[in-house]
Structure 1
Amino acid sequence: MYSENITFTNFENSEIAFRGQSNNSLRQSCLLFKVMNNRTLVKTGKYLVNFAFAIHFPVEGILRKTIYKHFVGGTSIDDCVKTIEKLASRNVGTILDFAVEGEEREDLFDATCDEIIRTVEIAHKNSNVPFSAFKITGIARFDLLAKVSESHSITDEEGDEFRRVEERVDSIFRRGCELGVPILIDAEETWIQPVLDDIVMKMMVKYNKDKAIVQNTYQMYRHDSMERIKQHHRQALEKGFKFGLKIVRGAYMEKERERALVKGYPSPIQPDKPATDHDFDAIIRYFMDHLDTIDFMVATHNEESSLLLARLIDEYKLPRNHQGIYFSQLYGMSDHITFNLAEQGYNVVKYVPYGEVKTMMPYLFRRAEENSSVKGQSSRELKLIQREVRRRKKK
């Protein structure tokens, strides 16, 4: 068992990282990451999968047994129960994420809202599910959010549509407040983030009096994120509510740069990765200095940032399971970080998306592209898996 007197130093223990995987499962993971390590294969695969769905070719079975199985908890909440229990057996919590996005119809938005509320109710009943989470683009039309964010005039019909969006968001957080379940709302593209920030800050004023129920997400690859966080924190102090948030490095960098170039405005993205890393680590130190008024989650696959927070928790002589501090990684990624932290007694959760295979494809394409990028991490994941395979062969 861990000792809080011993400073945690690395994520090198592959036996802890992959303890929950059989030899066969490890070999399948190895093959998957080998494929994702090839950018050409990933791009070709994306095209072929989209084409297969377009012509109704039965490709779901193949996907379900490979990339879907690795990165997705299941098709439904009930389908995720085994995943929740498996993670809990390793002292890792689950965030159920109904990963629907990009819809256009009001009835689908209402259905998604109802499903998100179900995840809140599950979190209330199951201590192994400490948070709920959702994307506003799962319950609202993207173009409407962009129009409101950019202060364009909207029609009466669009005004009614936007009020329904606000009502959905309010119903989710209201249920979280009733049940005492913190809810994370994901970050979005910069051109729809203003309306999201505005809604979320209003929800914090309403529901965060006693506990950080409403928690925003900030992408630190934006050069303005540090100041936005501090500004929002100041608002929390002035208005007397608890500030809750999650930080990530970010997921839309290429899209953001391309749009800025096409539309002729300054890129909102940091000049380089070191600048992002600097702000990411600096804001962690800021959180630690204001822990009495901030609950936060550091969602990262970066080893250095994870170690920084782990060491600061020990340096501040805080309990490793401090209720206001969480680490997080995506299901199927960075298990060496997740399980080594959990083994040492820190609070760790996995984001576990769920949904039908076809519905999950935008999410899965992002994971594949992220892992195949030049500075992505499929090479690192692959090396760690191969190291564990070699270790087991020597036994």
Structure 2
Amino acid sequence: MLITVLAVQTGQLEPLSNKFTAEEESQMKRMLQRVDILAKHALENGVRLMVDAEQTYFQPAISRLTLEMQRKFNKEKPVIFNTYQCYLKEAYDNVTLDVELSRREGWYFGAKLVRGAYMYQERDRAQEIGYEDPINPDYEATNRMYHKCLEYVLEEIEHNRKANVMVASHNEDTVKFTLQKYVFVSIMYKNLKES
């Protein structure tokens, strides 16, 4: 798999491997081989592989690798799941973009929705380096983002049936919200099948 990045100087996509030393390129190839082995085992054993999320400065690479695995392994059912951190301002955009890509390319979308784990670290880094804080302004905004992303994926499930979501939350209100929405989606799907 060729991984490309946008070069700031030229505005063109360039292979990331051009920036690697020989040892780094070797490590990258070994990592991709291990990921491929894990994904194949998950597919063969009927289990899901959840790819966890990290800090925003790592996440684009993780999401890109996960997307490539979804393209390869989510052809018949959702096996590979990407994690979306809903405490990020861009969470909804990321979810909708990936769902749309899965629709266009015909593979199953898999999402694990979490609130997030690196809030203080992200805010400190944004202030230190001088870029906009990527975190929602408060807990309520994060809850709204979580529910907005969840509703979007549940609607995709209702309309397309080629999406799955794992609600990874300890929040009682979110669990209740999910159950109410899920029961509604299930009833709607059942009624559509019977008509």
Paired residues for 1:282-361 under 5 Å: 282-291=148-157, 292-318=161-187
**Aligned position for 2:129:** 263
CA RMSD of aligned residues (A): 1.8
**Aligned position for 2:81:** 215
Following the alignment from structure 1 to structure 2, what is the Cα–Cα distance between the partners of residues 318 and 301? 25
Which structure 2 residue ranges, 5 or more long, are not aligned? 1-15, 189-195
CA shift digits 1:312-351 (9 cap, x unpaired): 12233449xxxxxxxxxxxxxxxxxxxxxxxxxxxxxxxx
* Counterpart among 86, 95, 99 of residue 233 in structure 1: 99
Following the alignment from structure 1 to structure 2, what is the Cα–Cα distance between the partners of residues 151 and 250? 30
Runs of 4+ in 1 over 6 A off after TM superposition: none
Following the alignment from structure 1 to structure 2, what is the Cα–Cα distance between the partners of residues 151 and 232? 24
Q: CA deviation at 1:186?
A: 0.8
The amino acid across from 1:167 in the alignment is Q
Q: CA deviation at 1:196?
A: 0.5
Q: CA deviation at 1:151?
A: 9.1
CA shift digits 1:199-243 (9 cap, x unpaired): 000000100001111011111001001100110111111111000
The amino acid across from 2:88 in the alignment is R
**Aligned position for 1:161:** 27
Q: CA deviation at 1:283?
A: 1.4
Following the alignment from structure 1 to structure 2, what is the Cα–Cα distance between the partners of residues 253 and 289? 29
Structure 1 residues 183 and 284 mapped into 2: Cα distance closer, same or farther (>3 Å)?
Answer: same
**Aligned position for 2:110:** 244
**Aligned position for 1:190:** 56
Following the alignment from structure 1 to structure 2, what is the Cα–Cα distance between the partners of residues 302 and 313? 16
Following the alignment from structure 1 to structure 2, what is the Cα–Cα distance between the partners of residues 195 and 305? 29
Following the alignment from structure 2 to structure 1, what is the Cα–Cα distance between the partners of residues 49 and 92? 21
Q: CA deviation at 1:245?
A: 1.1
Following the alignment from structure 1 to structure 2, what is the Cα–Cα distance between the partners of residues 157 and 298? 39
**Aligned position for 1:206:** 72
Following the alignment from structure 2 to structure 1, what is the Cα–Cα distance between the partners of residues 43 and 116? 28
CA shift digits 1:85-128 (9 cap, x unpaired): xxxxxxxxxxxxxxxxxxxxxxxxxxxxxxxxxxxxxxxxxxxx
**Aligned position for 1:177:** 43
Following the alignment from structure 2 to structure 1, what is the Cα–Cα distance between the partners of residues 18 and 166? 34
The amino acid across from 1:303 in the alignment is E
**Aligned position for 1:133:** none
- For residue 290 of structure 1, give the secondary structure of its aligned residue in structure 2: helix
Q: CA deviation at 1:189?
A: 0.8
Question: Residue 155 of structure 2 contacts residue 185 of structure 2 at CA under 8 Å; is this kept in 1?
Answer: no
* Aligned positions, number: 170
Q: Percent identity at matched positions?
A: 33
Following the alignment from structure 2 to structure 1, what is the Cα–Cα distance between the partners of residues 96 and 50? 18
With CA pairs under 8 Å and 6+ residues apart, which has the higher RCO, 1 or 2?
A: 1
CA shift digits 1:327-384 (9 cap, x unpaired): xxxxxxxxxxxxxxxxxxxxxxxxxxxxxxxxxxxxxxxxxxxxxxxxxxxxxxxxxx
CA shift digits 1:133-189 (9 cap, x unpaired): xxxxxxxxxxxxxxxxx9992212111111111111111001111222111111111
Structure 1 residues 295 and 175 mapped into 2: Cα distance closer, same or farther (>3 Å)?
Answer: same
| Structure with bigger gyration radius | 1
The amino acid across from 1:208 in the alignment is N
The amino acid across from 1:311 in the alignment is Q
